[in-house]
Amino acid sequence: MQEVSNKTMFQVDLWGLILSSLCIVHCLLTPIFLLITPSLIPHWLQAESDGHQWFYFVLLIVAGFSIVVGYRQHSYWQPALWLTMGLAIVGFATFFLNKNLEYALTIFGSLFLLRGHYLNRKKCRLCQSLDKKPVCCR
């Protein structure tokens, strides 16, 4: 049972890293793409408003699962703190800021999410690789 949760944890954090990276790439490339193709601006602006909110809920589920399962396994609070701060920043940017500020703050929050998932994977691998488990590894 423990092996299944370790593999699941690695997969969830991997998806968290992928989603956070895609978020950064999306935020950096969308304005450039919109400048190159001005005929698509109305369509993209309309799709952006709902798209970011749905994407945030996917981030919330993945990061939330990662926080709970990771903390249960390694009992370190730092990954959970990074992930929570990243979710708070991205959520604030998504729901309360205009487009220009939203992009900047979303990139900043995604970096927090990347750091949190990275630390979570690192701590879970440490717990998995040690023969004699310290108290923090469950």
Query: Among 95, 66, 96, which Cα is nearest to 81's?
Result: 66
Please state, in angstroms and rounded to a whole number, the distance separating the CA atoms of residues 83 and 69.
Answer: 13
CA 117 remoteness from chain centre: 7
Taking the whole predicted model, whether its pTM rises above 0.75 is answered as no
Q: pLDDT digits over 66-121, tens only?
A: 899 888 888 889 999 999 999 999 999 989 988 778 888 988 999 999 999 899 88
**Average per-residue pLDDT for the chain:** 79
Cα distances (angstroms) measured from residue 43 to each of 27, 37, 48, 97, 135: 17, 11, 9, 20, 54
At 14, the amino acid letter reads L
